[in-house]
Amino acid sequence: MIDIEIENINKQLKDKSPEQIITWALSQAKNPIVTTNFRPYEVAILYACTQVDKNVKVIWCDTGYNTPQTYAHANELIEKLALNVHLYVPKQTSAYRDALMGIPQIEDPLHKLFTEQVKLEPFNRAMKEHKADVWFTNLRKGQTAFRSSIDIVSRSKDGLLKVSPFYHWSDAELDTYLVERNLPNEFTYFDPTKVVATRECGLHS
């Protein structure tokens, strides 16, 4: 699928519902996956995807640094939505890493190694094992400069078809979506690789 085709597809999908977008994307897929870290509003993409395909693979790359609230939220959603979760964790324990480097600041040369260990390696391992071709995410316009430069459908740096069904949605619109469906949300979340919310996490840039 070339760039001009993706541009036309985005025009066609702009006013479609998330479920309609997901249905279209699944028609293009052999090995679709949804990735999640159970951050705020992740429940929307998980709910929408499982409404269309209840058995879709959900890849959870757990850094090992989530808050107790996030772990409780994850367990609640796994049970409530009957998620087909495939869990990936770093090859090193957080205790081992804490003893050697802690959580390095962005300007620390060790930050790149830290991000590779806790986020990139588990993610790349998951992608390789599942041979994903369509990747559902909850990226939204305005979250970061990079995310504002893509659209509902884009290509990842590895060539996957990346689909963000809620791309044009605001927080307020998502709040309404969750309330109408009686879905829980959780805001006590920590990403050790980002430090600030407007920084890209490393998987999408």
Amino acid 205: pLDDT: 46
Considering the chain, what percentage of its residues have pLDDT values greater than 90?
82
Per residue in 23-56, pLDDT (tens digit) is 999 999 999 999 999 999 999 999 999 999 999 9
**Does residue 148 carry a pLDDT above 80?**
no
Residues 160, 124: Cα–Cα separation, whole Å = 12
Per residue in 84-127, pLDDT (tens digit) is 999 999 999 999 999 999 999 999 999 999 999 999 999 999 99
CATH match of 3-180 with 3.10.400.10: no
1-5, 141-145, 149-153, 195-199: which range is least confident on average? 195-199
Mean pLDDT of the chain: 91
**Does residue 198 carry a pLDDT above 60?**
no
- What is the reported pTM? 0.89
With a CB cutoff of 8 Å and minimum separation 6, the contacts of 37 are 60, 61, 62, 63, 66, 191
**Structural domain boundaries in the chain:** 3-180
